[in-house]
Structures are given as C-alpha cells and as structure tokens.
Amino acid sequence: MERSLTHIALFAALIAVLGLVPRVDLATGVPITAQSLGIMLCGTVLGAKRGALAVLLFLLLVALGLPLLSGGRGGLGVFVGPSAGFLVGFPVAAFVAGWVMQRTTLPPFWAAACGAVIGGIGVLYIFGISGMALVLDKSLSEAALLGLAFLPGDVIKAVLAGLLTQAIARARPGALLSRRDAPAA
Amino acid sequence: MLTLTSPVETALHRLRAGPKLAVLAGFTFALFWISAPLWLGFALVAVGGLYLQGGVQFFRHGVAMLRPLWPFVAVVGLWHLWTEDLAAGGVIVLRMLAAVAAANLVTMTTRLSDMIAVLERLARPLAPVLPPRRLALAIALVIRFIPVLTERMGHLAQAWRARSGRRPGWRLIAPAALAALDDAEQVANALRARGGAG
C-alpha cells in the first residue's frame, strides 16, 4: 500500500519536474516539453492503474493552483482553455500506455514505445482534438489540423519513452511495476 | 513553493473558497450557452472589472496569465478573417477569454490551504475508497518532492556538463526517473516503519 502511494506521488512530482526542462514553443501555442514524456513514463513504468493515478494527482495539484504545467501554467483556467482536452486525456493516455505494457510480452522498448504511441498519441489526440474543437468551435477535422503540428514531436517522445523504459528496466528490473505484477493471463 | 495565488490582497481574497468555486462553475456553464457577442463582451468586461478592483498591478498580472491563449486568438482570428465570418470568431475568442480569465481569477484569489479544504470536503464521499489522510499525504509528498527531484536533476545536469560539452537534454530523464523510483521505495519503507500511511 505504502509502496503504491509513494510511487504515485513521486511520479506525479517527476511529471512536474519534467515540465521545467527547457522547451520549444510551436506556432499553435501548445509547448513541446518533456512533460508529456513524463505522462507516458507514468504508464509504462508504474502500470495502467498507478500511472493514471499519478497523472490524476498531478492534475489535482495543478487545479489547486500550483504552476506545474510546462511554462509555469496552472490553476483552474487551464481546464477551460483550448488545451483542456489534452489535460483530460493525460490520465487516460497513461492508463492505456500502461495497459499495453502490462498486456504484451514484447521486450520493454517495443512494449513501451507501442504503449506510448497508442496511449500518448492515439488516445491523447482524440481527447485533445475534441477539446480544441469544442473550445474553438471548429469541426473535428479542422481541429485535427491544428493538432497535427505536434505529431513529429510526439513521435520522437514515444521513441524516447521506449528507450527510457528500457533503460529503467535494465537498471532496476524489480522497479518496473508495470511488468512485475503483470497478470500472466 | 510558489503558488499562483496573488500576493496583492483583494476583496475577493476574503470571500470563502466554496461559494467562489460554485459561482465560477455557474458562470462558466452559462458562457457556453450564450452566443450573443454583446453579452459575452459584457461578461468579459465584468471579469475585467473584478480584476481592476484589485488594482492595476493585479489586473496586469491577470492579463499576463492569459498569455498562453494569444496564439489561439491569432489562429481563430486568421481563420475567421479567411472565412469572412468575423462575428463568429469574436464569439469564440470572447468566450474563451472570459472563461479562462474568470477561472484564473478564482485561482489568483484563493489560497492553497483554502483550496485543499474545499477538496477535502468534496472528497469526503469517497472516504471508503480514498481515505482523506491518504490523499493529504499524497499531496504533501508531491509538494515536498518537487524541489527534491528538481535539485537532483540539477546535480545530474552538472555531472553531465563536467563530462561533455554537449547539452544533456533527454538523457537526464532516465537517471531522474530511477532516482524517483529509489526515493519511492525508501519513503515507503520509512512510512511503514512509522506505522503506515493510514
């Protein structure tokens, strides 16, 4: 129990810290940072449930008014802005990434990279694009056009998530919770 | 750690957090049903007035908090300039600005401790699944460990620079994640030794 709690809390803190790593702004205003890499890692390292809970805890602290999102953003405003859909999608993305990691027997790199692509790109974009379509009052395909700008960065991040998960699996095989207590069936 | 609560004390700081959040929820909900530019403009001016009531410095700070929205305003503006439907674009921009500005206003005028108090009250029905003490402990752990992990990242970056002229970039993330995993194990043991997380 304590282990789950501390892992969830420490990875929530890790997402916040990765948001402080220098960033590049894209033309559409959604910054490319290591933060979404942190979201993917929560799923691939902690597994579906704990990963999603870590992301939820992080979002809770953002909502409470801590400037933890990349670029020092935070507070309640970010949850009604154009990128709110991405925030809603974060925990689901971590869950799906973790689920793929748990349910496949692929080596860590491939499992984590696939999980990051399906969860961190596929699922996350569905939420993010729907959110932009809603707030900016555009059709889904128009919003998807805006979202496409992030695709190259996110593909790079999915590969990095695979490499990082592999590095963690090698350094601390027992610490990879997503694999350790994965159900056999 | 720094929060987004404004150090400029305004009248809104003295209001209770619960009612403020309830009004915000109602206001945001209403905004998404209004599509008359005049009323949306009125809503934005009203929010702006509330900011101004806290002084010019407070107002400027509020405007600065809206900065991440400007690219979206630009995109919507260009889009509707191209489709020659500026009124519709105006509605979208006014609504977005009013909703975000109002939410930021509540964040800027409510202390973290008051927000946590509201959260504890809202989370009370969840007590059988999520004991309030455990939630409070989790929040405290995150707030404590953000500076710890930031410092760890700083040390890792220094060590990297001592060995290489290139920028460290993403290569620091694996050791940082390992540090977080190790810390999690140690803190879990420490908690268990002290009677568990309750």
Least confident of A49-58, A151-160, B39-48, B58-67: A151-160
Residue A107 pLDDT exceeds 60: yes
Q: Do B80 and B96 belong to one domain? A: yes
| Beta strands, E only, A13-171 | 24-25, 31-32
Determine the residue among B40, B93, B107, B111 to mutate to test chain A binding: the one whose Cβ has the most chain A Cβ atoms within 10 Å. Answer: B107
Q: Which domain holds residue B30?
A: 11-122
Residues of chain B found within 8 Å of residue A172, distances taken between Cβ atoms: 178, 181-182
Q: Do B90 and B136 belong to one domain? A: no
Q: Report the domain count for chain B.
A: 2
Distance from CA of B56 to the nearest CA of A (A): 20
In the 3-class helix/strand/coil scheme, how is chain B assigned residue by residue?
CCCCCCCCCCHHHHCCHHHHHHHHHHHHHHHCCCCCHHHHHHHHHHHHHHHHCCCHHHHHHHHHHCHHHHHHHHHHHHHHHHCCCHHHHHHHHHHHHHHHHHHHHHHHCCCHHHHHHHHHHHCHHHCCCCCHHHHHHHHHHHHHHHHHHHHHHHHHHHHHHHHCCCCCHHHHHHHHHHHHHHHHHHHHHHHHHCCCCC
Distance of CA A121 to the CA centre of its chain: 9
Domains of chain A: 2-20+29-174 (1.10.1760.20)
Q: Do B114 and B132 belong to one domain? A: no
pLDDT in tens, B149-177: 999 988 998 998 899 887 777 788 899 99
Question: Tell me, what's the pLDDT at B164?
Answer: 86
Q: Do B134 and B95 belong to one domain? A: no
B160 lies in some domain = yes
pLDDT in tens, B176-190: 999 999 999 999 999
By percentage, how much of chain B surpasses pLDDT 70? 99
B78 lies in some domain = yes
Place A181 in a pLDDT band, splitting at 50, 70 and 90: low
Q: Do B112 and B188 belong to one domain? A: no
B6 lies in some domain = no
What's the whole-number mean pLDDT along residues A68-86?
89
What's the whole-number mean pLDDT along residues B21-40?
91
Question: Tell me, what's the pLDDT at B30?
Answer: 92
Distance from CA of B170 to the nearest CA of A (A): 8
Q: Do B162 and B178 belong to one domain? A: yes
Distance from CA of A80 to the nearest CA of B (A): 6
Q: Do B26 and B112 belong to one domain? A: yes
Residue A176 pLDDT exceeds 50: yes
Question: Tell me, what's the pLDDT at A111?
Answer: 94
Q: Do B78 and B106 belong to one domain? A: yes
Looking at B122, B137, B158, which one is the last position of a domain? B122
Q: Do B174 and B82 belong to one domain? A: no
Mean pLDDT of chain A: 87
Determine the residue among A11, A14, A168 to mutate to test chain B binding: the one whose Cβ has the most chain B Cβ atoms within 10 Å. Answer: A14
pLDDT in tens, A2-55: 889 999 999 999 999 988 765 554 445 555 678 889 999 999 999 999 999 999
Q: Does A67 touch chain B (CB under 8 A)?
A: yes
Most confident of B4-8, B21-25, B164-168: B21-25
pLDDT in tens, B96-122: 999 999 999 999 999 999 999 999 899
Q: Which of residues 37-66 of B touch A (CB under 8 A)?
A: 65-66
Question: Tell me, what's the pLDDT at B83?
Answer: 85
Interface A:B, Cβ pairs < 8 A: 192
CA-nearest residue to B109 within chain A is: A65
Determine the residue among A1, A4, A5 to mutate to test chain B binding: the one whose Cβ has the most chain B Cβ atoms within 10 Å. Answer: A5
Which is nearest to A81 in space by CA: B20, B36, B31, B88? Answer: B31
CB pair distance less than 8 Å for B75 and A28: yes
Place A184 in a pLDDT band, splitting at 50, 70 and 90: very low
CB pair distance less than 8 Å for B92 and A137: yes
CA-nearest residue to A160 within chain B is: B170
Q: Does B25 touch chain A (CB under 8 A)?
A: no
pTM: 0.90
